[in-house]
Structure 1
Amino acid sequence: MGISCLYSLLLFLVLISSTGQILSCLADPTDGFTEIPLTDRNFDLQKPYNVPLNDRYSYQNGVRRLWVYTNDKPFKPDTTTRPRTEVRIKGLDYSSGVWQFEGHAYVPKATSGVTVMQIHGARVGATSLQLRIYDGDMKYYKFAVVDTNLYDKWFRLNVIHNVDEGKITVFIDGVQKFVKNDQGPGDLYFKCGVYAAPANSSSYMESRWRDIKIYKK
């Protein structure tokens, strides 16, 4: 290797170590993970118990559209939970290891006060993560803002759950946006769709999903 090439390489390495920006641009959230093949059996649909599925869900051209109204019934008669139309990833429950959810999502304007993605299960409480949309912004439950201005456009969502380290990391369009301790180990699984948050949800809620994938490390 010539002196000029060696100098260029050393300068490149210094830039990486000093800023980390080059590495973050090159890295993908799924690097180092193995995709787990999904079939129709892995997509369990939950919807208001008193209406037909096609009144709250459609699947066309690879896009899953899910919607619900704030005055709908819950997903089963013997629960007092808020209304939902959700995909529950079935058959891939986990309690240890490093898992990742990926999906491209679209939330139409005016859908607000709604959970669009969850990690269900925890040592304390019912969930380890809820990603909610409030007026176009994504929040961790009703607290920290994860990202803004997400209405009316497709965005790629990746959620990594490192159960062994107790960490959850959220990426939007390949960029790390949020890191948080989880709620402790439990019987864990991924969900996405629309689930009316505990209060102040819009009268109509909708999200669309495509290219849903699950990875494991």
Structure 2
Amino acid sequence: MKRVCGCSLLLLVVNLSLLNDGLKVFAIDPTQGFTNVPLTPSSFIYQKPYNVPLTDRYSFHNGIRRFWVYSNDKPFERGSNTRPRTEVQIKPDYTSGIWQFEGYAFIPHGTSGATIVQIHGAAEGNTTILLRIYNGDMRYYNGEVIATNLYDKWFKVNLIHNVDEGKIMVYINDVKKFESHDEGPGDLYFKCGVYGAPSDTSRYMESRWRDIKIYKKS
């Protein structure tokens, strides 16, 4: 009887090892074949509630960019009917080719209903993709769940846009989680931070980012 149990345990360990190896196969470097686009301080253009200074909604210390906003904050400019945001637009803009955003994100528990990263611009509408956090899960706009249980931990985000083929892909921690058609060409650029786009957001919204990079495929 002990011999059978021992063999069963050995088989279980082997199967788990094979499963882990199988999972590793799906983890790749999404930036392979891409060229890093150098970024300077002028590459980052900030938006925040128009009636407060940037330092009241953004900080940059020890390589970590912290963005926060409240659901009752003003929009980014007078006369705008958009929801509150504290975001950074990352230059350069692009209209063709294959481009990629990479960054490590941290979302504190309680932030919900907030867009944390997006591609702005499209043939129709304002955006190609919005990735939102709802109760710790990441969704494509307010629809398909892309990743779960993301609160209070650093996770890697890679967002690839093949404009010529009209395709977008999302990688979380080097694993491909989502693919879809885009919304057509336009004046396109990446943004990250917090944007309370829907109306049912948490009162306080925050995201932190580090190691932000932009890549282009030659």
Cα distance in 2 for residues equivalent to 1:183 and 1:214: 21
User: Is 1:30 the counterpart of 2:44 in the alignment?
Assistant: no
Cα distance in 2 for residues equivalent to 1:84 and 1:129: 16
Structure 1 residues 22 and 112: CA distance shift in structure 2, 3 A: closer
Normalised by the length of structure 2, the TM-score is 0.88
Cα distance in 1 for residues equivalent to 2:23 and 2:185: 32
- Quote the residue 2:16 is aligned against: none
Q: Name the aligned partner's letter for residue 164 of structure 2.
A: D
- Quote the residue 1:201 is aligned against: 201
- After superposition, what is the alpha-carbon deviation per residue over 1:85-119, rounded to whole angstroms, capped at 9, x for unaligned? 001113x1111100000000000000000000010
**For residues 71-110 of structure 1, what are the structure 2 equivalents within 5 Å?**
71-90=72-91, 92-110=92-110
Cα distance in 1 for residues equivalent to 2:147 and 2:75: 29
**For residues 40-119 of structure 1, what are the structure 2 equivalents within 5 Å?**
40-90=41-91, 92-119=92-119
- After superposition, what is the alpha-carbon deviation per residue over 1:34-85, rounded to whole angstroms, capped at 9, x for unaligned? 0001000001110000001110000000000000000000000021100000
- Quote the residue 1:127 is aligned against: 127
Q: Number of residue pairs matched?
A: 197
Structure 2: runs of 5+ lacking an equivalent:
1-21
Give aligned-pair identity as a percent: 66
RMSD (Å), alpha carbons: 1.4
Cα distance in 1 for residues equivalent to 2:71 and 2:115: 13
- Quote the residue 1:190 is aligned against: 190
Residue 188 of structure 1 and its aligned partner are, at CA, apart by 0.3
Normalised by the length of structure 1, the TM-score is 0.88
Structure 1: runs of 5+ lacking an equivalent:
1-19
Cα distance in 2 for residues equivalent to 1:45 and 1:121: 17
- Quote the residue 1:146 is aligned against: 146
The residue matched to 2:206 in structure 1 has which SS? strand
The answer as to whether partners of 2:82 and 2:197 remain within 8 angstroms in 1 is no
Cα distance in 2 for residues equivalent to 1:21 and 1:67: 35
Residue 21 of structure 1 and its aligned partner are, at CA, apart by 6.6
The residue matched to 1:93 in structure 2 has which SS? strand
After the TM superposition, list the runs of 4 or more consecutive aligned residues in structure 1 that deviate by more than 4 angstroms: 20-23
